[in-house]
Structure 1
Amino acid sequence: MTLLFLFLGLVSLTIVAGALTLFVLYFFRDPDRRADVQEKDVLTPADGRVVGVWNLESGENALGTRAVKVSVFMSLFDVHVNRIPAGGRISRISYRPGAFFAANLDKASEKNEQNAVFLDTRGGSRIVFVQIAGLIARRIACWVGEGDEVQAGQRFGLIRFGSRVDVYLPEGSRVVVQPGHNVKAGKTILGYLP
């Protein structure tokens, strides 16, 4: 009888370990994506669900001017590799430590740990995209540096286990996604620059 319990325990442990391994492999998947984009196209930088689109006044956002903010929440089941929304040059990167509220809440944009990437596009516009850590995600990875020339759809970072990316577009940009839309990083058009 003891051998039977030992055997059942080992089988159970093997099943749990196998399930965890499969989940980690699934979570860190990184599908190859190619998008045919024009100069004014802005791709979504994250897989997930659009949780908000806001028009902001000067001083209320990372651009410092009137802007449109689009927030994408990444659940545990979305791809967490982040991609560059438009081609251009990285002019600044700004990391800020913070709290770890649930990333689907509005206050996550203001309070949570985050990494802001400032991009000067080839067309002369400035876009800011902000990686925001969530309740479980406590690690933001950014693989680009200031001065780097980047392409739309290029991988630039990763946020682990449920997080958010906010994108700030200049006033006059036309956003084509709405709250509730499911989007794919480097594939879905988020909007168009002025």
Structure 2
Amino acid sequence: MFHKEGYKIMGSAMILLIIVNLLAHTFIFTDWIRITILITSVLLFFLIVQFFRNPKRQTQLNDIHVVAPVDGKVVVIEEVYEKEYFKDKRLMISVFMSPINVHVTRHPIGGRVKYSEYHPGKYLVAWHPKASEENERTTVVVENEVAGEVLYRQIAGALAKRIVNYAKVGEEVVQGSDSGFIKFGSRVDVFLPLGTELEVKLNQKVKGGISLLAKVS
């Protein structure tokens, strides 16, 4: 199963690679060069296709659980001052996605979308300390009666040139459901109340919609 954001790119890539190979077959008469171009084309298309895969995930719904919004590795767990929405100190968990990870963004909790905002910005490497505030990004806050408000932020990186965010203020969302997509690698930050009981550690690999990040009381 593939994400809808990938169909246009996959289709364009397929047409382009077919044209390249037809031209190679027509104008290049050295067999090993034509075979090399064909193999390279197949591998390139495979990489593009795997990037847009969208595996179905069965999230165990629980209002006090905060699940990972994306696949990747936990690279930061620290107290920070969140100045866009909460304007106070929060516990931030950052999950970094490599180009080979699934790049679907999922809602970490279920509830009502309280805030959804896009910010244009730079394309610093995703692990740069200022990326959360200076890079292109979207900020979404979801609230339910048990967990309260949880903020998560999609952040573009040096390779990610487009962030897609489906969250709309006022809509009800289901935990683990599709919230958006980041093309070609980046990170997502989750902001939780201080004192939240964590269920992950630094450098731990997580799966979006499945892995438990924290329990919010």
TM over 0.5, shorter chain: yes
Structure with higher RCO (Cα < 8 A, 6+ apart): 1
The reply to whether residue 105 of structure 1 matches residue 139 of structure 2 is no
CA drift at 1:60: 4.6
Alignment of 1:1-194 (within 5 A): 5-57=29-81, 60=83, 62-123=85-146, 125-194=148-217
Write 1 or 2 for the structure with the bigger share of helix.
Answer: 2
CA deviation vs aligned residue, 1:110-149 (integer Å, no higher than 9, x gap):
2111000111123251111000000010100012211110
Query: Which stretches in structure 2 are left out of the alignment for 5+ residues?
Result: 1-26
CA contact (8 A) 1:63 1:168 kept: no
Q: Which letter does structure 1 place at the counterpart of 2:216?
A: L
CA deviation vs aligned residue, 1:8-58 (integer Å, no higher than 9, x gap):
33222111111111001111111110121321100010110001111235x
Q: Which letter does structure 2 place at the counterpart of 1:144?
A: A
1:169 and 1:61, CA in 2 relative to 1: closer, same or farther beyond 3 A? farther
Over aligned residues, Cα RMSD in angstroms?
Answer: 1.7
What is the SS of the residue equivalent to 2:88? coil
Which sits farther off after the overlay, 149-158 or 28-37? Answer: 28-37
CA contact (8 A) 1:100 1:112 kept: yes
CA deviation vs aligned residue, 1:138-192 (integer Å, no higher than 9, x gap):
1000122111100110011100111000000123321221210000000000001
2:216 and 2:84 map into 1 onto residues whose CA distance is 17
Which sits farther off after the overlay, 79-88 or 3-12? Answer: 3-12
TM-score, normalised via structure 2 length: 0.83
Q: Which letter does structure 1 place at the counterpart of 2:189?
A: D
Query: Which stretches in structure 1 are left out of the alignment for 5+ residues?
Result: none
| Number of equivalenced pairs | 191
Identity %: 35
1:4 and 1:137 map into 2 onto residues whose CA distance is 35
